[in-house]
Amino acid sequence: MTSSSTPGGTLLALLPWLVALAIAAAVPLFLPIYMQRVAVTCLMFVTLGVSWNLSGGFAGQLSLGQAAFFGIGAYGSMITAEHVTSDLLTSIVVGGIVAGLCTPILFPAFRLRGIYLGMATFALGESMRVVAEKVFPGEASGLHTPVVFAVDSLAPYYWALGIAAFTIAVGAWTIRSRLGLGLMTVREDDQAARSIGVPVALYKAIVFAIGAFATGLAGGFYARYLGFIDPHSVFHLDHSINPVFVTIIGGIGTELGPIVGAIFWVILQEVLRGLTDTPAVNTIIYGLLLLVVILVVPRGIVGESQAIWRRIADRRRGRRTGKEIPVVAD
Amino acid sequence: MLSFEVLGQTIVNGIAAASIYMMISLGLALVFGVMRVVNLAQGEFMMLAAFGSFWLFTLYGVDPYLSMVAMIPASLLLGYAVYRLIIRRLLGADDINQFLATFGLALMLQGIAQYLWSADLRRLPYVLPSLEVGDVTLAGVRVVNIGVCLAVLAFLAWFLGWTGIGRSVRATASNRMGAMLCGVDVRRVDATTFLLGTAISAVGGTMLALVYFVYPSVGAGLIFKGFAVVILGGMGSIAGVIVGSLVLGITEAMVNVYVSSQLSALVAFAVIFIVLVSRPQGLFGTAR
Amino acid sequence: MAARTAFQNLAGRLAIAVGATALSLCAHVAPAAAADPIKVGIVVPLSGAQAGSGELVLRGYRLHIDEVNASGGVAGRKIELFTEDDRADATTSTSAVEKLISQRGVVAILGSYGSAPTTTGSDVSERHKIPYIAAHAGELRLHQRGLRFFFNIHPGGPPRDVALATFFAEVLKPKSVAGLHSNQAWSIEGMKTLATALKEKAGVEIRQDEFPANTPDMSGQLTRIKAGKPDLVSLYGLDSDNATFLRQALELGLNPRHISVLGDVRASKAAAGLNFDTVLMCDDWFVGLPGAENEKYERLYRTKFPKDTPDRFAVKAYAAAQVLVDALKRARSIDGQGVRDALSATDIPTPVGQAKFKEDGQRLGTFVVAQYQKGAPVVVYPESARTSDAQLRNWRGFR
C-alpha cells in the first residue's frame, strides 16, 4: 500500500480501512449473543496479533513472552478497579500503561537474536507467571470485581473493536514512519542498520513498548470484561503463543496477516466445535495447521495471496505489452 | 532443619531429577549441535515412549526395563518419519519457522495422545525396594534410572569417540562446511544424529514413566528444563549437558527444600534468561 | 460400513451445527410446546489435567437424567442435555456457559469441577438469571458474592476441616503434625481452618508446607517433612496429589503413624498399584456409606458400569442432577426464575445426604472420616455413622 503525500491521496488510502471499520461496527447487530462473545475473542486475537507482528514480523524480533504484558495489564486494571476507580476506561488505560512501563524488563535481552531472543522472552513470560502465583497466592484466589457489562450489551464488542482499531492504526503509523523503516532494516541486517545510523536499541525499545502497551490494554479489557482473573489464566502461555500463531497463519510481516489469521482461526474453531465434541481434535488441528502452514505456505494466507495476485498481475501486464515477463520463483 | 541427612537427601533427589533432564537434553543438544535445529517435539518422543512402556506393563505385564529396550526400534521408526517429513525441510530455515513447526508437531503429538488415551494422569505401578544409606533413602527405581543414564552416557562416548560415523557427527557439529568438503555425507550424519537423539529420548521416556506420571503433556513440561540445561551447558555441548543437568537438578532440589517449593519452578526460567543475557555461549560453549 | 456410519455421523453433526447457527440467528425463540424437551446445560472439563475427573462428573449427571428420561421425563417432557468442555479454566468456562444459555436456550446449568471455572461460569449464568448448580467447588468466596441463582452441593470447607480436627484431637491425639496443602485457594483456606481448630481442641501446632497443584514431584516437601518426624501428616490436595504424596512418601521412607488425605485416595488413575490400608480420608461420601439412597445409587451404578467402583465425582454430580430434576418437577414455570425458586425450597434425600440449601445457596451437609481397611473404605468417625474402629498402625505402602 503506497500512500501519497497529498491530503486527497491519504484519504483515498484510508478509505478501505474506514469501510472495514464501518462493516465491523455493524456486524454485532446481526449476531446472536454467543457469537458476539466469539467476536470479542476474535478482536482480542487481532489486537494481540497486530501488536506482536510489529516486533515479531516487521522488526524480526521473535518474542514469545507477550503473556507477561497481558497479565500485567490485567492485574493493573483489576487492582485499579478495586482500589482506585471502577471507571472502565481509566482502569483499562492504566493496565496498558503499566504494561508499557514494564518494557525495560526486556532490555537485557535486546542483544539476543532469533531463537535465543525467543527463549529468553519465553523464560521471562513464564517467570512472571510463577512470580504472580507467589505474589497473588492461591491458584484460584484471583481478583473478582463486580461485572460491568449487562448480558445483552453490545458494549464489550465495541470496546474490543476500539482497542483493535487503535492497535491497527498505531501499527499502520509505525510501519510507515521512520521508525518502521528503521525496524525493517534491523530485520534484514542489524549490523548494517547500525552502520547507516539507525538507533537500533532505541527503536527496539519503542516497538516493544508499543506492543506491550497494546497487549496490556487487551489484558486490562479482558480482566474487566470477565470480572475475574487469576495468575494461571492471565499469564497463560496461550497469550504468548496465540498472537504468533494467528500472525503466522495470516501472513507474518504483512499488515493484514494477523487480522485475517485471527478471523480464520476463530471461525475454524467454532466450526470444529460444531463437528466434534472431542477437544483433543482441536489441539491436533492447531498443531497440524502450524506445521502445514510453515512447511507449505510460510508466507501465510495474506502473503501467499499477494504473491499469487502479483504473479497474475505480472502476467497480464506482460500480455498487454506483448511480451512475456518470466516469473521468477523466490 | 539444616541437618546433614536433609542435605544428603536433597542432593540425591536432585541427581535423580538430573538423570531425567539429561535424557531430554542430550537429544536437544545433539540435534542442535549438528543441524542447528531446535526440536521442540523432543519431549513428545519421551511422552510417547512413556505411554508405550505404560501400556506394555498395564496390558501385558511387560517389565518396564524390557520395554525400555523395546521402545528404541519403535522410536527410530517415528523419528525417521519425522526427520524425512519435517526436520530435513527445516534445515537452514528461519529460526521462527523451525521453532513453530516443531512446536506444531509437538502439539499434534500431544493431541493424538490425548485423543487415544485421554488426559488422565496415570502411574506405572512398578516398584523396586528402596535402599537406606544412613538417613538418606534411595528409591529403587531412581537408583536404576541413574544407572541407565550412566550407561547411555557410556554408549554415547563410545559412539562419538570410537566409531566412524560418530567421528563424522563430531566433525559436522564443529564445522558443517568443512566436514562436507572433506567428503562427509552430512545428510547421513543428520539422520543418524536425529535418530540417536530420538532413541535416547525413548529410553528417557521409560525412565520418566517409572518416577513421574504418564499423561499427554508430560513432555511439554520437560522440554523447558531441557532448554535450561542446554543453554546452561552451551548449546550443542555434550559435556555441557551433563554438568548443566546436574546443576539444574540439584539447584532446583535445594531451592525447593531450603527456600520455597513454588520458587523452584522459577530456577529453570531464571537460568535460561540469565545465562542467555550474560553468557550466551553457556558454561562449555565457545563464543560465537 | 463403519466408515459410512462415521461419515453419516459427521454429516449429521455438520447439519446440526449449521442448523443451530441458523436457528440462533433468529432473535426470537419460539415458546416451548408442552412436549418439547427441557434443555439443560452441562459444563465440565473434558480436556486438560482435570479431564479424568470431569468425565466422571459428566457420567454422574447423565446417569440420573437418563434414568428420569427412561421413566417418562418431567411431566411428560424429556430432558435434553447439552455438554460443553471448559478445561476447568476460568475463561473457557464463561464462553461455554454463555453458549449454552444464549445459543442452546438451557433453563439450568449443571456445573464444573473446581472453584475457578465455577466462579466465572456462575457469574455468567447469574446475569442471565439461569440457575447454576455446582457439585465440586469448595472455595469459601463462591458464596460471598451474593448470587441468587447459584446452588452448591458441596457443603464447603469449614465443616470438613472442623470434623477432621475434632477426629484428630479426640481419636489420634497426635503430638507433632505436619500439614501439606496445594497452592489453590480452597486448599490454603482449608489448611488454615484445620490448623486453627486443631490448636483450639488439642493445643497442637501444624507445621505447614505448600506444593503446586498437580505436581509430579513432592520430594523436596517430603524431605523437609521427614526431618521434622511428625506422627501425623495431613494432606490437602487433588486426587492426583494424593497419589504423588503416597508414592513418594514410600520412596523417601517417610512413614508417620497416621496419614490423612481429602477425598478418596483411590479416585485417580495415578494411584494404581498402591495399598491404601490405614490411610485416613475425609469427605461427605464414601463408597458403601450406609443409607437407603446410597444403596440404591450404588446398585444402579454397578449395573451400569460393572467394571467400575462408585466414585466421589459421579455421586455428587448425580445428587446435583437429582436436585435439579426435583426442582423442575415442582417449578411453577420451566424458566430460570421458576427453577431457581423451586431449587431454593429443595429438601430431598440424595446418596450424599439430605439436600437442603442455605440462604447463600450452599448445601447443609456433614462430613465423615473414613479409613481404608482391607482394600475398602470404612467410616470410623463420627460415632453416629461409624461402621468400624480406626486402626492405629502405620501405613504399609505398596501391595
Tell me which of B36 and C329 has the higher pLDDT.
C329
Mean pLDDT along residues A177-199? 85
Task: Give the residue from B4, B5, B2, B16 showing the smallest Cα distance to B249.
Answer: B16
CA distance A117 to chain B (A): 8
Please answer whether residues C51 and B120 qualify as being in contact, where contact means their C-beta atoms are separated by less than 8 angstroms: yes
Alpha carbon of C269: minimum distance to chain B alpha carbons (Å): 5
SS3 at position C49: coil
CATH 3.40.50.2300 residue ranges in chain C? Answer: 33-155+292-355, 157-283+368-385
Q: Which three cell numbers stand for residue A213?
A: 502497551
Mean predicted confidence (pLDDT) in A37-45: 91
Q: pLDDT tens-digit profile of B279-288? A: 777 766 654 4
Nearest residue to C323 via CA among C159, C83, C151: C151
Sole residue written with cell 417449578: C331
C184 CB within 8 Å of a chain A CB = yes
Closest CA to A66 of A107, A122, A136: A122
Judged by a CB distance cut-off of 8 A, whether residue A111 touches chain B is yes
Lowest mean pLDDT across A72-76, A77-81, B76-80, C24-28:
C24-28
Q: Which of B170, B248, B238, B214 is nearest to B50 (CA)?
A: B214
Phi and psi for A14 in degrees, rounded to 5? -80, -20
Q: Which of A32, A37, A147 sits opposite C127 (nearest CB)?
A: A147
Distance between CA atoms of residues B223 and A237, nearest Å: 14
- C234 sits in which H/E element: strand C232-236
Mean pLDDT of B230-245: 87
Q: Work out whether the CA dihedral A47, A48, A49, A52 comes out positive or negative.
A: positive
- Probe site for chain A from C83, C85, C120 (most A CB atoms < 10 A): C120
Statement: residue A324 has pLDDT above 70: no
Q: What is the pLDDT of residues B257-277, one digit of tens each?
A: 888 877 888 898 988 888 888
pLDDT score recorded for residue B2: 57
Q: Which of C99, C112, C147, C189 should we substitute to test contact with A (largest number of A Cβ atoms within 10 Å)? A: C99
Which residue bears the cell 533427589? B13
Query: pLDDT value at position C299?
Result: 94
> What pLDDT is stored for residue C254 in this prediction?
86
Shortest CA distance from A289: residue in chain B: B104
| pLDDT reported for residue A277 | 66
Question: Quick one: fold of C157-283+368-385?
Answer: Rossmann fold (3.40.50)
pLDDT at position C253 is 83
- pLDDT per residue as tens digits for the range B198-221: 999 999 999 999 988 899 989 988
**What pLDDT is recorded for position C5?**
43
Give buried/exposed letters for C327-349 (b at 16+ CB in 10 A, else e).
bbebbeebebbbbbebbbebeee
- Residue C107: DSSP 8-state: S
pLDDT single digits (tens) B112-131: 998 898 877 888 888 788 88
pLDDT computed for residue C23 by the predictor: 43
CB–CB contact A139 C184 (8 Å): yes
Nearest CB neighbour to A127, from listed B111, B115, B273: B273
Distances (CA, A) of B58 to B66, B214, C51, C136: 14, 12, 21, 30
Q: Report the distance separating Cα C144 and Cα A95, nearest Å.
A: 27
pLDDT, mean of residues B64-77: 93
Does any domain span residue B204? yes
Interface of C with A in 211-230 (CB under 8 A): 212-213
Q: Per residue of chain C (399 residues), what is the pLDDT tens digit?
A: 344 444 444 444 444 444 444 444 443 444 445 578 999 999 999 877 788 889 899 999 999 999 999 999 998 899 999 999 888 888 889 889 988 998 889 999 999 998 889 988 998 899 899 999 999 988 888 888 889 999 999 998 899 999 999 999 999 999 999 999 988 888 888 999 999 999 999 999 999 988 888 888 888 899 889 888 899 999 999 888 888 898 888 888 888 889 999 877 776 777 777 788 889 999 988 888 888 999 999 999 999 999 888 988 999 999 999 999 999 999 999 999 999 999 999 999 999 999 999 999 999 988 999 998 888 888 998 888 888 888 887 777 654
β-pairing, C368-373 vs C376-381, is antiparallel
- Structural domain count of chain B: 1
Choice between A178 and B203, residue whose per-residue pLDDT is larger? B203
Residue B85 is assigned to a structural domain of this protein: yes
Instruction: Measure CB to CB from residue A288 to each of B104, B260, B277 and give the nearest one.
Output: B104
Residue B285: inside a domain: no
Q: Which of A151, A266, A270, A273 to mutate to test the interface with C (most CBs of C within 10 A)?
A: A151
Mean pLDDT (whole number) for A131-148: 70
**What pLDDT shows up at residue C270?**
74
Question: For residue A199, what is its C-alpha cell?
Answer: 538507533
Considering the four listed CATH numbers 3.40.50.2300, 3.90.1640.10, 3.30.1950.10, 3.40.190.80, the one that applies to the domain covering C33-155+292-355 is: 3.40.50.2300
Of C170, C379, C371, C384, give the one whose Cα is nearest residue C260. Answer: C371
| Residues C194-229: tens digit of each pLDDT | 999 999 999 999 999 888 888 888 888 998 898 888
Domain CATH for B79: 1.10.3470
C contacts of A41 (beta carbons < 8 Å): 95
CB contact under 8 A, C49 and B121: yes
Cα three-residue angle B256-B257-B260, rounded to 5 degrees: 50
Cα dihedral sign, B247-B252-B253-B259 = positive
pLDDT at position C20, please?
Answer: 46
Spatial contact of C174 and C203, defined as CB atoms under 8 Å apart: no
pLDDT at A76 (0 to 100): 93
Closest residue of chain A to C103, computed from CA coordinates: A34
Indicate the domain borders of chain A: 15-237
pLDDT for B277: 85
- pLDDT band of residue A206 (cuts 50, 70, 90) is very high
Please provide the average confidence, as pLDDT, over all residues in chain A: 85
Query: Cα(B253)–Cα(B259) distance, rounded to whole angstroms?
Result: 10
Angle (CA) C233-C371-C296 rounded to 5° is: 140
Confidence band, pLDDT 50/70/90 cuts, at residue A320: low
State which residues form the domain around B36. 4-278
Question: Cβ separation of B273 and A123 shorter than 8 Å?
Answer: yes
